[in-house]
Structures are given as C-alpha cells and as structure tokens.
Structure 1
Amino acid sequence: MLNVLLADDEPMILKGLMRIIDWEAEGCKIVSAVKNGEDAYNYIKDNKVDLAIVDVQMPVMTGLELIGKVRSEGITDTDFVILSGFRDFEYAQEAMKYGVSDYLTKPVKASQLESAVRKVALQHVSNVQENEMHEKLRRGYLIQYIYSLMIGKASPKQIDYIKENMKLEGAINYVVISLNNIAKLDEMTDEEVDDLKNKIRENCEEFLGEYKDHFLDENAADDKGYDMSFIFCESMASSKKMTDIEFFETLRKKAMSDIPVDLTILVGKTINDITKLSHSYSSTNTMITLRGLHSDKNVFIYDNDIHVSSHNLAKSMVHKDALDNLIAAVVRRDDEAIDQNVDELIERAGSVDYKTVNLNMNYLMFQLIHRAVEIDEMVEQDNILLYIGDDVFSSGEDIRVQLKKFSHEYAEYLEQLRQNAASGGLIKEIEHEIKDHYAENLTLRDLGAKYFINSSYLGQIFRKKFGMSFKDYLNNYRVTVASEMLINSDRKVSDIAADVGYRDVDYFVSKFYEVHGCTPTKYRRNY
C-alpha cells in the first residue's frame, strides 16, 4: 500500500483528487491532504510518504520549491507528480530537473491520474524488489564470509566486509543454539524440522533486534542440520541492561516459545577480535561432544565449564593409564572390569568436581568415538556421545555412578555397531518392517526396541542409507501404495488414506501433493 499526500490550495480540487479515482483499488492510501507547500514539507519530513501529488502554484511554498527543498536536503525518496493549470514548458522543464515522476495539467482526468499513480506504483514495486535482492545478496555475502572466517580462510577484504556489516562491540563469542531430544527430531520429516528451525530463528531475531544480522541459521559443524548459531558481542547484553548469562538465559526462553523441543545454549571461547572467530567456533565443537557431562545446564559456557589451566591439564592427565584400562574394558564389554576401573579412576583422581574431571572425560570420550568409527565409518563422529549419552550424566547422581552407567551403555552401543557391521542386514530388516506394517504407527523408538539397537543410531544409519529421515521414507512408501490403489480401484480417497496409515485425510492429501505435485483425485483422473 502506497502512502499518498495531496497538496493543492484550491479546496474543490483537493476534494476532487480524493474522489476522482478509487485509491484503495490502486493500492494507495491518502495519508494527508494539505493546502500549501510548507505544510506538505513538514508532513513529508516526519512521516513516510511514497507519492506526493502537488500543485505547482501554492502559497507560502510552491510545488517546485517543495520538491527542490526535499531533494536538496535528501530527507526522503518520495516520488512527486506535479499538477499545473498551465502548459508551460519552463515549468515542466524545471519539474523534470528534480526528477518528478509525471507532470499533469488541470483539469486532471481520472485516466491520466490512474496512469501516473500506476507508473509510480510499478516503480515502487521494482525498487522494493531491488532492495530485497540487494539485502539478500548483502546477507548472503556476510554469512559466506563469516563461515570462511570460522575456518581461518577469510581474506582481508572479507574481514573488512564483516566488520562493516556487523555491530561488533566488546568481547565476542560464537554461540550454538543446540536442539535437544535428538530421537524426537529423527522421527520428524525434514520439512517439519525446517519449520521448527524457522520458528526458532524468528523468535531469536525478534529478541536480537538490531543485532539480527548476527544470526547464522546453521551451525557449520552440524552435518544433520539440527543446530543453529549466532555471533554474540558484549554490547548485545549491555544494550538490554543484562549480564551475559541473563542475556543467554532470556534468549533461550524466547527461542523456545511455541516449539516442542528443548534447547541448550553453548557459548564458545571468548575472543577480543572477530579475526579470531575460528578459536571460539572450534571450542563449541568440543562443547557439543562434552555437554552430556553438564546435562543440568541450559546455558553451557566454555570459559566457565570447559577451560582448564595448563597446570590442571598436567595434573588431570596423570591417570591416563587408568583411563586406557577403562577404555579397553568398555571395548571388550567386560562389565566387571568396567566397574573396577571406574572405581580405581575415581579413587586416584581424588576429586569429582567438573573442573578436575573435564579433561579426563574429554580424553575418554574422544578415544571412545575413535573406537566407534573404527567399527562403523558411517556413524556421525561429533554426535555419537550426544546420542548414546542421552540422560546418562545427571547432576543428581554421584560421578562414580554416572561414569559406570555411561561406560556400560557405551559398551552396549559398540556391540550394536559390531552386530550391524557384521550382518549388514539391519536396514533390510527395517525395510521389510515398513513394507509389512506401513499402515501401522511405526516409530524408530519401537523398531529400535524390537531389534535391540539405539533408536537415534538407527535413525542416523537410515538417513545415511536413503538420504532422508525415517518418517519421510515411511510417508513416501505410504503414498506409493496409495497411488497404486487410486489407479487400480474406485474406492474413496478417505478409505485409501486410512488403509495406508493416515487417520487425517487432509494430512494424507498434503503428503500426496508433496510427492506427486497434485491431489489424489487429480492423480486418479490423469492415470
């Protein structure tokens, strides 16, 4: 809708202009009607006006003087249409010098005014589209250059571009917004995950306000696309009169508005210059792997929860032999040896607080990840412990109990990997399950329980095999069966929907349309 201002010192002409065409039908709204150029100037200066239709001869300030003043001061990009009772070439020439959109002589015909308004409207749409395209390109370049900087490959020009297009004041952190409930996400279709992430992004950008350009959507290290990220700077919190921790806690609550999953905020290492972003970014990769140790935390800060001094580093690693013995017991799935080695490790460590034990856990986890990858290269290295350690580490239990629980569960996980690698037939079994029971309420959790395999790992290898989520595959199979029923029978669409597992006909139609690009009724007609 274009905001239109009318200016003419003759009341009858002003009223006529307001009624001569259907402004609303032309996509316009008259926001002001004034009697001289000065009043028009004062309104334009303080309000958004897309189009001003002004008389060339008015008291106090003429139409040409108004346009000249607006243009010289650069206060707005309002388009102007001049009205004149004279067919004077000099008036027209001067008006065109100021870049007016049109020059109409009185009495103005409806068709002439409509033509002038439509010309401006088309130009306005073109300008809006051009601005939107420019903004998309600007943001696209910004994100591309930030990703280059994160891996230490940004050029000086790219770094300058980042600094020019971001508000970077004070200390800086790379921050990951991590979606929890991985098993639940694996049950969702890609479209459902995208909708979920779009809602989170909208919530975050609303909270970030003038800093919304700092939001990056994807976390570059997250192959599954479940995590999101942004660049935090100290002024974000101070502008809201919050401490950093208050800012992150509030952001998390805002981001979780009207979404069905929980979120964790991972705040990377603090840096003082954006050129060192790769250091902060790489620290969040460690945090993603280790966050199972801090399941009591909704906001996980590297500088507070991970970082240890070189003195503590040396002190912590004196128990490497005990860790290696524990790792060997886990790989063998020797339950008795696991308990014995955990007891020995805890006794020799002499302390069970997070600060002291973090490095030992880091070493333990990375070694166990390596063992998993040796068995099955398909597993996602960065997410293994996030999957298998779900709810294992909790603040309510003693660290000895937590570590034993984790070690036994990871030993079982490695055994599942061996069985799958040896048989190579698990996915085929799942395919048969889908073909035989597609109309039932199949879930990864139930299939995982039936085949004695972690449901998250099952979802992971399923996506690797077919390039889509389990739920998308199931929907596609149901639609394929329904398509055959539509062609080979005259049964009602609602009955076919129910037969292939859809209780909601509208949902069935939407899924059918996603696959075939048409409704079931049209599909049947065409075939």
Structure 2
Amino acid sequence: MLRILFVDDEPFILQGLSVLIDWEKEGFEIAGTAANGLEAIRFLKNNEVDLILADIRMPAMSGLELLEKLRTEGISDAYFIILSGYSDFEYARKALQYGCMDYILKPVRKTELIAALDKVKAESSLTLRKKEEEALQEKAYFARNLIAIICGKYDQMNLEYVTAKMRTDGGIRYIDIEIDDRNEEGSEYEPPKTEEEKRKLQRLLYQSCLDFLGEDGWHCIFDVSSNERDYDIGLIYCDYMAQEAGMNEQDYLDSFLGSIQEAIKHPVVMFVGNRVEHISGLSESYRTANIARSFQNFHVDGMNQCISWYEEQERTEGRSLLFKASLDDLARAVEQNDKERIPGLVDHLYDEINQNAMDAKLVSLNIDYLLFQLVHLAQAQDPNVNQEEILEFISGSAFDSGTMRGSRMHLKRFAEEYADYLSQIRGKTIRGGVLGEVEQYIREHYSENLTLKELGQNYYINSAYLGQLFRKTYGVSFKDYLNNYRIEMAASFLLHTDMKNYEIMEKVGYHDLDYFINKFIAAKGCTPARFRKKCRE
C-alpha cells in the first residue's frame, strides 16, 4: 500500500479528494493532509510518504516552491503530482523541471486521477525491482568477498570491503549452522529428504538468523560450503554481540539457537570454530568448525549436543587418557587396507573403553585422535589433498547408513571405507579416463539432479575422491563446476530464446528462482534480465 499526502489550502478540496475514488482499492493509503507547503514539510520530517498531491497556489509556500525545496534539500523523494486551475505551460514546465510525475487541471476528473495513480504505481514497482536487484547484487558481491576470507584466499581489497559492511570488534569465531537431520530415535521431527525440502528449510533457517541478528545481518551468509550435500549457514560471531546483549558467549549462542529453532520448528545444530583475534584469521576458525562438524558424527549419545565446540589446545591436555597403542594399530590397518584386521581392532578398542568405564567425552577424545591420524595419512599419500577435502569425506560419505553414531558397527564401516579411500588416492591411474567420461555425462545430463555419490557409483569410484579429482583438474569443486556449466547454458538460452527466467531455471536444472538468480549474479555480475538486455543491445 502506497502512502499519499494531500496538500491544499481549501478544506473542501481536501475532503473532495479523499472521497473522489476508493483509495484503498487503487492501492493507496491517505497518510495525512496539509494546508500549505510549510505544513507539508513539517509533516514529512516525521513521516514517510510515497506520493504528494499538491495544489500549485497556496499561502506561505506554493506547490511549486514545495516541490523545489523537497528536491533541492533532499527532504523527500516521493512522487509528486501538481493540481492547478491554471493551464499556463510555464507552470507545467517548472513542475517537470523538478521531477513532477503529472500535472492535473482542476476540477479533477476521476479517470484522469486514476490514470496518474497508475503511472505512479508502475514507476514505483519498477523502482522497487531495481532496488531489489541492486540489493541482490550487493549481497552476492559481499558474499564472494567474505567467502574469499573464510577460505583464506583473499587480499586487502576483500578485507576492506567486508570490514566496511560489518563490525568486527574483538575476537571472532566462524560458526557453521545447519538443520539437524540425524533423525534421532524418539524425535518428533521428520528430517527433510529431498533436495527441494532441504533447500526450503535452509532458506527458512537463513531468514530466522537474519531476524535474530537485525542490523548485524551482514554477519550471516548463505551456502558457504562447496560440498553439494551441505545446506549450511555461516555466522561470523564477534565478541561484542554477546557483550551488548549482556550475556556470556555460551548463553548468547544458546539464545540464538533457541530463537531460530522456535522460528523454523525444527532442530538446528551449531559447530563452533576456534576464536581468532582478527577477521584475517577467519579461515583458521572455519577450518576448526569443520573439524567440530566432522567429529560430531562420531560422538556417542551422551555427547549429542546442539552446539559443538572445537578447541585444539584444550584437546591436547587429555592425551594421557588415550588408548594410543590400540588407536595406532587401527590407523596402520586402515593405511594398509587390511580389512581382515580392522573389525577385530575396532572390537579391541571398544573393549578397552568399556573396561575402563569411560564417559562420552573421553570416548570422543579417542575418536578425535584417530581422525587426526587418518587425516595425516591421507595428506601423506598425496600432499595436494587439502584438509578440508578429507574432512568432507569424513563428514559425508561414511555416514549414509542408519548406524548409530559412536557404535562399533559405525566405526568398522567408516574404517573400511576410509581404507578404500586411501587406496584410491594412491592409485591415480583412473584420473584422466574417468573424469573425461564424467564430464561428458554432465554435458548430457546437466539439467538432472546430479550428485557426486551417484556419479561415483556409476563409474565405480569413491565419491569423495572423485570430488577431489574435480578440484585438482578443473580448479573448482564438482558443485561449482556443475553450477558454472548450468549458468553458461542459461546464458545461452537468454541470448537465443525468449524464454522466461523460471522456464530457463527449470531447463538448466534449478528449482528455486531466487537461488538461480543469485547464482547467475555471482557468475555474470548481473541479473538474467539485465544480461539479456545488455547483450541484445
């Protein structure tokens, strides 16, 4: 509903305008009235309106003087329509000079007024769409700069742009926020199953985070991870947030978590990275948040927390509580792909744990030590494999079954799959041929719901390792490679057809128009509509 201000020194004119048409039906709300330009200015200093309907001749300040003052002093950029009993062209010329939308002669006819209002509504809609496009572009550009810092691939320009948009007072943590889809026994919540359901819930989660943060909404970023299985929200937490809320860090995050869970009516989990002193060190906090996320898959029921913290320095203090010999034996069996010994070594480890009646926290400590060993084994096999890629394997492909986290069966299955993973890292002869076939398959089926898991099954290769081969060969993740190809095909359809955005979106494999437009802006620097117009011009 657009707000309108009437300005006229004749009360019966003001009354007549208010009943001349059904303003609500036409999409307008009468915000107020004023007897002259001075009264109008006083009103506008405390009230916002979208349209001003003013008489041209009034005492104290005329309609033309009001229009000139509003524009030259920047008091209001509301649309302006002049009402006048004079048809002198000079009046109209001056009105148009200051951006007057229309010039209507008295007595005002209903049809003429409605036509002028339709013009205002059309212009207002166009301006709103432009602002939304600009906001989308600005948000996408900001996200690119912030993700560069999160990934540790940034320069001074990235830092300056990001710090100009968001406060970074005090210490900083990266916090990964996700829907908790672990489907715990006895839970009343049904985890999302399809990609569309996950994306919809992710958008609700993102909006609830923005609502909680308010003016600090720039600290929240949509879709940080390059893993297509992840539907994450990134939060750049700064010390001042808890301080200004009068809380400590734990209480603030508990409050944050409770608020967003209540908003989306679904369990949410947070993975908290190490605290760093400056935003330039954000990639370290991001790395440790990923480790907290990966380790959480192994935590037994007693450690089933909604906020998972990871502090590397604190964890080293308990090394004397490790069953180091058993853990090292299991790591060697995994490295040697000795699947005959792996089940027995896992059983031996759990027997030791049970005999010592260790609590859930100490069980997690032992599992964490094993994971560190396995991460180092993968890096020793291939120095080009980065830690994040290994953690993606740990957090993803090993946990597709319904086995209980922390159980013997779970650890046995993971250890055997990780042994295969290490074996494939060693055997790189598959790289060229398989990737060529996969690339061709993507070109033929890019509009379908392609996943690394399905491609791995089709071409008999571990999906996590296939993802690493993509990154090494093409310089981007599988998800980004597929997105880039889809966007290029979308650009081709924009150039060579008259298809609508939503038709092109479905044609190239997307199911959410906002997501498609955001991806297009990130790749091409403008919206699909602007891209089509610019190229055709």
TM-score range, shorter chain: 0.5 to 0.7
What is the CA–CA distance in structure 1 between the aligned matches of 2:313 and 2:402, rounded to whole Å? Answer: 21
Structure 2 portions without partners, runs of 5+: 185-189, 383-389, 423-450, 460-505, 508-537
Which residue matches 1:307?
313
CA contact (8 A) 1:36 1:61 kept: yes
Which of 229, 234, 238 is the aligned partner of 1:233? 238
Which of 252, 267, 273 is the aligned partner of 1:262? 267
Which residue matches 1:366?
375
Which residue matches 2:339?
332
CA contact (8 A) 1:292 1:385 kept: no
The 5 A counterparts of 1:291-306 are 291-292=296-297, 294=299, 295-303=303-311, 306=312
1:392 aligns with 2:412: no
What is the CA–CA distance in structure 2 between the aligned matches of 1:317 and 1:299, rounded to whole Å? Answer: 24
What is the CA–CA distance in structure 2 between the aligned matches of 1:161 and 1:21, rounded to whole Å? Answer: 49
What is the CA–CA distance in structure 2 between the aligned matches of 1:460 and 1:324, rounded to whole Å? Answer: 31
CA contact (8 A) 1:288 1:386 kept: no
Find the residue that maps to 1:332 and give its secondary structure.
Answer: coil
The 5 A counterparts of 1:460-479 are 461-462=453-454, 465=457
Report the CA distance between 1:59 and its aligned residue: 2.6
What is the CA–CA distance in structure 2 between the aligned matches of 1:18 and 1:241, rounded to whole Å? Answer: 50
Distance change (3 Å), C-alpha of 1:367 and 1:387? farther
What is the CA–CA distance in structure 2 between the aligned matches of 1:278 and 1:134, rounded to whole Å? Answer: 28
CA contact (8 A) 1:56 1:62 kept: yes
What is the CA–CA distance in structure 2 between the aligned matches of 1:255 and 1:12, rounded to whole Å? Answer: 53
What is the CA–CA distance in structure 2 between the aligned matches of 1:346 and 1:312, rounded to whole Å? Answer: 22
Deviations 1:263-293, CA, capped at 9 Å, x for gaps: 2211112223222221221222211211245
Report the CA distance between 1:164 and its aligned residue: 2.0
What is the CA–CA distance in structure 1 between the aligned matches of 2:178 and 2:172, rounded to whole Å? Answer: 19
CA contact (8 A) 1:289 1:386 kept: no
Distance change (3 Å), C-alpha of 1:180 and 1:307? farther
Deviates more, 1:73-82 or 1:220-229: 220-229
Find the residue that maps to 1:230 and give its secondary structure.
Answer: strand
What is the CA–CA distance in structure 2 between the aligned matches of 1:368 and 1:380, rounded to whole Å? Answer: 14
CA contact (8 A) 1:2 1:29 kept: yes
- TM (norm. structure 2) is 0.65
Report the CA distance between 1:225 and its aligned residue: 2.5
Structure 1 portions without partners, runs of 5+: 394-401, 419-458, 468-513, 516-527
Report the CA distance between 1:413 and its aligned residue: 6.5
Distance change (3 Å), C-alpha of 1:90 and 1:109? same
Which residue matches 1:76?
76
Which of 210, 217, 224 is the aligned partner of 1:219? 224
Which residue matches 2:34?
34
CA contact (8 A) 1:201 1:255 kept: no
Distance change (3 Å), C-alpha of 1:68 and 1:169? farther
Which of 263, 273, 277 is the aligned partner of 1:272? 277
Distance change (3 Å), C-alpha of 1:316 and 1:89? farther
What is the CA–CA distance in structure 1 between the aligned matches of 2:69 and 2:246, rounded to whole Å? Answer: 41
What is the CA–CA distance in structure 2 between the aligned matches of 1:297 and 1:186, rounded to whole Å? Answer: 17
Find the residue that maps to 2:262 and give its secondary structure.
Answer: coil
Distance change (3 Å), C-alpha of 1:35 and 1:406? same
Deviates more, 1:195-204 or 1:123-132: 195-204
Amino acid in the other structure paired with 1:256:
Q
Amino acid in the other structure paired with 2:277:
N
Find the residue that maps to 1:3 and give its secondary structure.
Answer: strand
Which of 327, 330, 353 is the aligned partner of 1:323? 327
The 5 A counterparts of 1:117-516 are 117-182=117-182, 188-257=193-262, 259=264, 261-292=266-297, 294=299, 295-303=303-311, 306-308=312-314, 312=317, 321-328=325-332, 331-334=338-341, 335-340=343-348, 353=362, 357=366, 360-364=369-373, 366=375, 380-384=393-397, 391-393=404-406, 407-408=411-412, 410=414, 461-462=453-454, 465=457
Deviations 1:199-236, CA, capped at 9 Å, x for gaps: 22222221121122322222314330333322222233
Deviates more, 1:211-220 or 1:358-367: 358-367
What is the CA–CA distance in structure 1 between the aligned matches of 2:209 and 2:100, rounded to whole Å? Answer: 42
What is the CA–CA distance in structure 2 between the aligned matches of 1:82 and 1:260, rounded to whole Å? Answer: 51
CA contact (8 A) 2:326 2:345 kept: no
CA contact (8 A) 2:274 2:285 kept: yes
Distance change (3 Å), C-alpha of 1:73 and 1:82? same
Find the residue that maps to 1:266 and give its secondary structure.
Answer: strand
Which residue matches 2:438?
none
- RMSD, aligned CA: 4.1
- TM (norm. structure 1) is 0.66
Deviations 1:394-443, CA, capped at 9 Å, x for gaps: xxxxxxxx7x676456467779999xxxxxxxxxxxxxxxxxxxxxxxxx
Distance change (3 Å), C-alpha of 1:466 and 1:336? closer
What is the CA–CA distance in structure 1 between the aligned matches of 2:25 and 2:179, rounded to whole Å? Answer: 46
Distance change (3 Å), C-alpha of 1:318 and 1:247? closer
What is the CA–CA distance in structure 1 between the aligned matches of 2:454 and 2:183, rounded to whole Å? Answer: 13
Q: Which structure has the bigger radius of gyration?
A: 1
